Amino acid sequence: MVTITRKRPSVAAAEPMGFFTDTTVCIGCKACEVACKNWNQLPATHGGVSEMSGDSYDNTRKLDGTHWRHVKFIEQFTAPYEGRWLMMSDVCKHCVKAGCIEVCPTGAIIRTEFDTVVIQSDVCNGCRACIAGCPFGVIDMNAISGTAQKCTLCYDRLGVGLEPACSKACPTDSIQFGTITELRARAQKRVRQLQAQGVKAQLYGDDPNGPLGGLNSFYLLVDKPEVYGLPTHPMLPSRHLKRSGALSVATAAVLGVLALVGVRKRRMEEKEGVMNV
């Protein structure tokens, strides 16, 4: 597995790169999952013998420290042959404002010259703060390395001019790789095309003025984000600091008042005891 020890200062800052995932053309083949596992040398679960989840064809179940790609299968049927399948290849969002970077105490999580987010395994101390700090539930522990891991957007491949393994393997171009500027233009054109056909298409995470400053891995959806397991309003951990700080101050004030009342009561009892003597 490739280990990145630091951001390379010799490489000039590149234009932000990322993924645009068009879920309308995903066929659920899981070629992206296989390519990701293969390139990044990620271990198989239980030696490759896993129990069936019973949840449609989704046996990967979720993103974690050894599954950096996850194809979701969402069945929407009211009766046999009456409904539709929604499929989406999920991955780290490489947020422009990343919660994992915000909470990492060791500086193990860095932003690369491609504006992607990478965890340095040799610096990670396994504290799990990033797991709680990610609003998308992307990061998890790799039991073999003992560190938190996730998609690197194939940083090692980008460094030598290669496309990430997952998008390279995608047979329908559901996963598209390129500069964020180009991908946003392409995605908006695709949305207009689908809407003209009566499809309720929308983009998720493409707005640089939206939550987290936009996502460098964004999606075209045909239903509400929560249907795909995506939060409607993802937030940074620091967004809670003002409220939690106010609560802490209020709690401290209440405890202070209670302490003063307790001290005064005790002194009054001591005074009454002396007078009775």
Query: pLDDT tens digits for 94-125?
Result: 999 999 999 999 999 999 999 999 999 999 99
* pLDDT, tens digit (0-9, with 9 covering 90-100), for 60-89: 889 999 999 999 999 999 998 899 999 999
Same structural domain for residues 60 and 97?
yes
Same structural domain for residues 225 and 243?
no
Residue 196 has pLDDT above 60, yes or no: yes
Q: Measured between alpha carbons, how far is 160 from 131 in angstroms, rounded to an integer?
A: 30
Same structural domain for residues 161 and 254?
no
Same structural domain for residues 72 and 209?
yes
Q: Is residue 24 part of a domain?
A: yes
258/21: higher pLDDT: 21
Domain range for residue 252? 239-276
**How crowded is residue 74: how many other Cβ atoms within 10 Å of its Cβ?**
16
Q: Is residue 2 part of a domain?
A: no
Same structural domain for residues 71 and 147?
yes
Give 59's pLDDT tier (boundaries 50, 70, 90).
confident
Same structural domain for residues 265 and 213?
no
Q: Measured between alpha carbons, how far is 143 from 44 in angstroms, rounded to an integer?
A: 12
Same structural domain for residues 176 and 264?
no
pTM of the model: 0.81
Task: State the total domains in the chain.
Answer: 2
Same structural domain for residues 134 and 245?
no
Same structural domain for residues 148 and 208?
yes
- Cβ proximity of 99 and 135 under 8 Å: yes
Report strand pairing: 117-119 vs 70-79. unpaired
Q: Is residue 3 part of a domain?
A: no
- HSE-CB at 47 with a 13 A cutoff on CA atoms is 0
Q: Measured between alpha carbons, how far is 153 from 52 in angstroms, rounded to an integer?
A: 28
Same structural domain for residues 187 and 254?
no
pLDDT of residue 242: 52
Q: Is residue 12 part of a domain?
A: no
Give 9's pLDDT tier (boundaries 50, 70, 90).
very low
Same structural domain for residues 182 and 269?
no
Q: Is residue 7 part of a domain?
A: no
Same structural domain for residues 65 and 191?
yes
CATH of the domain at 33: 3.30.70.20
Q: Is residue 10 part of a domain?
A: no
Task: Tell me the torsion sign for CA atoms 173, 99, 234, 206.
Answer: negative
